[in-house]
Amino acid sequence: MSLQDTLTNFVKEAVKAKYSIDIETVEFQATRKEFAGDITVVVFPMLRFVKGNPVQIGETIGDYLVENANDVKAYNVVKGFLNIEINESYYIDFFNKIKDETQFGFVSPGANEKAVMVEYSSPNTNKPLHLGHIRNNLLGYSVAEILKASGKKVYKTQIINDRGIHICKSMLAWKRFGNNETPESTGLKGDKLVGNYYVKFDQEYKKEIQNLINSGTDEKEAKATAPILLEAQDMLRKWEAGDDEVVALWQKMNNWVYDGFNQTYNNLGVDFDTLYYESNTYLLGKEFVAEGLKTGVFYKKEDGSVWCDLTEDGLDEKIVQRADGTAVYMTQDIGTAIQRVKDYPDVGGMVYTVGNEQDYHFQVLFLILKKLGFDWAENLYHLSYGMVDLPSGKMKSREGTVVDADDLIVDMATTAEEISEELGKLDGYSEAEKKELYKTIGLGALKYYILKVDPKKRILFDPKESIDFQGNTGPFIQYTYARIQSILRKADLKESKEVDASIVLHSKEKELLKQIQLFPEVVQNAAQSHSPALVANYTYDLVKEFNSFYQNVSILGADNEQEKVFRVQLSYVVANTIKNAFSLLGINVPERM
At 3 the pLDDT is 87
Consecutive H or E run containing 274 = strand 274-277
CA distance 395 to 230: 27
CB 384 within 8 A of CB 125: no
Element (H, E) at 119: strand 115-119
161: DSSP letter: B
Task: Tell me what pLDDT residue 221 has.
Answer: 96
Tell me what pLDDT residue 496 has. 84
**What confidence score (pLDDT) does residue 271 get?**
97
Query: Based on the number of CB atoms within 10 Å of its own CB, is 494 exposed (0-12), middle (13-18) or buried (19 or more)?
Result: exposed
Find the angle CA(497)-CA(503)-CA(508) to the nearest 5 degrees: 100
Is the C-alpha dihedral spanning 408, 413, 419, 421 positive or negative?
Answer: negative
DSSP state for residue 87 in the 8-state scheme: P
- Distance set, CA 588 to CA 171, 415, 584 (Å): 39, 18, 10
Give dist(CA 197, CA 205) in Å, integer: 12
Q: What is the pLDDT along the chain (593 residues), one digit of tens a residue?
A: 788 999 999 999 999 999 999 999 999 998 998 999 999 999 999 999 999 999 999 999 999 999 999 999 999 999 999 999 999 999 999 999 999 999 999 999 888 889 999 999 999 999 999 988 999 999 999 999 999 999 999 999 999 999 999 999 999 999 999 999 999 999 999 999 999 999 999 999 999 999 999 999 999 999 999 999 999 999 999 998 999 999 999 999 999 999 999 999 999 999 999 999 999 988 888 889 999 999 999 999 999 999 999 999 999 999 999 998 888 899 999 999 999 999 999 999 999 999 999 999 999 999 999 999 999 999 999 999 998 887 765 444 444 456 889 999 999 999 888 887 776 666 678 888 889 999 999 999 999 999 999 999 999 888 888 888 888 999 999 999 999 999 999 998 878 889 888 888 999 999 999 999 999 999 999 999 999 999 999 999 999 999 999 999 999 998 898 999 999 999 999 999 999 999 999 999 999 88
| Max intra-chain CA distance, the chain | 94
Task: List pLDDT tens digits, range 495-533.
Answer: 888 988 888 899 999 999 999 999 999 999 999 999 999
CA proximity to 421, closest of 472, 467, 462, 376: 467
Residue 215: helix, strand or coil by DSSP?
A: coil
CB count in 10 Å sphere of residue 107: 16
pLDDT at 400: 46
Question: In b/e form, how buried is each residue of 136-175, taking b as 16+ CB within 10 angstroms?
Answer: bbbbbbbbbbbbbbbebbbbbbbbbbbbbebbbbbbbbbb
Which amino acid type is present at position 343?
D
The pLDDT of residue 286 is 87
CA distances from 423 to 411, 412, 434 (A): 18, 17, 14
CA distance between the termini of the chain: 37
Q: Which stretch of DSSP H or E encloses residue 29?
A: strand 28-29
Phi first, then psi, for residue 211 (nearest 5°) are -60, -40
C-alpha to C-alpha distances, 92 to 13, 414, 592, nearest whole angstrom? 26, 44, 30
What is the SS3 assignment for 379-395? Answer: HEEEEEECCEEECCECC
Structure confidence at residue 399 (pLDDT): 46
pLDDT at 551: 96
* DSSP secondary structure letter of residue 457: S
What letter represents residue 150's amino acid? S
Q: Which domains are seen in the chain, by residue range?
A: 3-86 (3.30.1360.70), 164-257 (no CATH), 405-584 (1.10.730.10)
According to DSSP, residue 273 is labeled S
Cβ-based neighbours of 401, under 8 Å, separated by 6 or more: 395
pLDDT of residue 425: 63
pLDDT at 392: 64
202 vs 200: CA distance, rounded Å: 5
User: Which stretches of 304-462 are assigned E, i.e. beta strand?
Assistant: 306-309, 317-321, 347-355, 380-385, 388-389, 459-460
> Which of 134, 160, 402 lies closest to 268 in space, CA to CA?
134
DSSP state of 356: G
What is the Cα–Cα distance from 427 to 592, expressed in whole angstroms? 11
Classify residue 55 as exposed, middle or buried by CB count within 10 Å of its CB (0-12, 13-18, 19+): middle
Q: Over the Cα atoms of the chain, what is R_g?
A: 29
Q: What pLDDT is recorded for position 428?
A: 75
- The per-residue pLDDT for 422 is 73
CA-to-CA dists, residue 433 to 20, 409, 430, 532, angstroms: 67, 18, 5, 29
